[in-house]
Amino acid sequence: MIVIIKRGATDAQAQEVVEKITAMGYGVNVSKGVERLIIGVLGVRENKEMLAAQLSGIACVERVVPVSKNYKLVSREGAQAGTIIKLPNGVEIGGTAVHVIAGPCTVEGREMLLRTAHAVKQSGATLLRGGAYKPSTSPYSFQGMGKEGLEILAAAREETGLPVITEVMDPRDVAMVETYADILQVGARNMQNFNLLKEVAKARKPIMLKRGLSATIEEWLLAAEYIFAGGNHDVMLCERGIRTFETATRNTLDLNAVPLLKQLTHLPVIVDPSHGTGRWELVSPMARAGLAAGADGLMIEVHPNPADALKDGFESLTFEKFAAMMDGARAVARAVGRPIASDVAATV
Ligand code: PEP
Ligand code: MN
């Protein structure tokens, strides 16, 4: 069961509700976000209706929602409306318009990132991606430029106005990375790094949580619940493919997840067909499929010269191929009544 406290209620009023609940012998989780305070009531097995009625009667309580799922705060049961994540420059993820996040797998240098940022913006991307800290399978492959990479991302934002998203791998880096990034990415390999989840929950920047390599939807939503319960309510999910018996593609992009997540959670859903397929020829068709399935956005790897990319060149699009992909995505987005955000802005 979750108890949603009215906007404008004081901490003392919320504390009174917490005390009432604990006095009745239940556990509580208090999730204090920037806009909302939500109390999760734990251990309610009987007399649910009576308890709900009792709590609903308290003046500062907006509503009480009985939630049957293990993930309470991110469940669709607790929220009629979808979460909308608001970023600088009017970017809103989770609204009617869909967003395209594009950029290289890895920040490899200033010149390549700036060129890529301008090119993807020109074609209609509304956010820039690029890894500065890379989760590499092999200890011998490139680990990322670190802080210098973050500085380059910030410079690209300065020049293009595109908000930037980048991965954070280490709980000790969260506070520093959030001073550069507009969105923090938690990568597939860290989806269940619970210490990292608790740390990004304290960040005051939105989080994009990628699906773990072999994570079920329930495990993924429980990972998102960690962030929400820890007080960060700006969470979005990214389907990036899962491990299956199939080896012809790098991963199996699970597009079932998109409409299913729309039923189960109020969090925005992004589709990453680059990692989801691992083959650049498949990126454009699966990007279109992702939008047709109801995604709120796409994440696409783009590189000035994929053959020379330090990472993931095989799944990266050239600038020209990205522009062509955007044309196809635009047509599907229009067909499902969710235009690409840069087109909406262009017509205002
Ligand atoms: C990435 O986005 O470059 C990345 C490493 O993704 P994932 O965590 O999904 O493998
Ligand atoms: Mn990559």
Q: What is the pLDDT of residues 143-175, one digit of tens each?
A: 999 999 999 999 999 999 999 999 999 999 999
pLDDT value at position 345?
67
DSSP 3-state percent helix, strand, coil across the chain (nearest 5): 40, 20, 40
Residue 78 has pLDDT above 80, yes or no: no
pLDDT tens digits, residue range 182-232? Answer: 999 999 999 999 999 999 999 999 999 999 999 999 999 999 999 999 999
User: What is the separation of C-alpha 331 from the centre of its chain, rounded to a whole number of angstroms?
Assistant: 24
| Residue 348 pLDDT | 45
Q: Name 175's bridge partners.
A: none
Q: Which domains does the chain have, with CATH numbers?
A: 2-66 (3.30.70.1140), 85-347 (3.20.20.70)
Please give the share of the chain, as a percent, with pLDDT higher than 70: 98
**Residue pLDDT, tens place only, 92-145:** 999 999 999 999 999 999 999 999 999 999 999 999 999 999 999 999 999 999
Ligand approaching nearest to the C-alpha of 137: 1
The pLDDT tens digits for 295-334 are 999 999 999 999 999 999 999 999 999 999 999 999 999 9
CA–CA separation, 91 vs 89, rounded Å?
Answer: 6
pTM: predicted TM-score of the whole model, two decimal places: 0.96
77 C-alpha vs ligand 1 centroid, how far in Å? 30
- Ligand (nearest to CA of 303): 2
- What is the Å distance from ligand 2's center to 105 Cα? 4
In this prediction, residue 124 carries a pLDDT of 98
Could you tell me if the CB of 103 is within 6 A of ligand 1? Answer: no
Amino acid type, 66: P
CA of 313 to the centre of ligand 2 (A): 8
Q: What is the mean pLDDT of the chain?
A: 96
Residue nearest ligand 1's atom 6 by CA? 187
Determine the distance separating the centroid of ligand 1 and the alpha carbon of 54, expressed in angstroms. Answer: 46
Note the pLDDT of residue 346.
62
Query: What are the residues whose beta carbon lies below 5 Å from ligand 2 (ion)?
Result: 105, 312
CB neighbour class for 15 (10 Å; exposed up to 12, middle 13-18, buried from 19): exposed
Q: Residues 35-61: what's their mean pLDDT?
A: 92
By percentage, how much of the chain surpasses pLDDT 90?
93
**CB of 131 sitting under 6 A from ligand 1:** yes
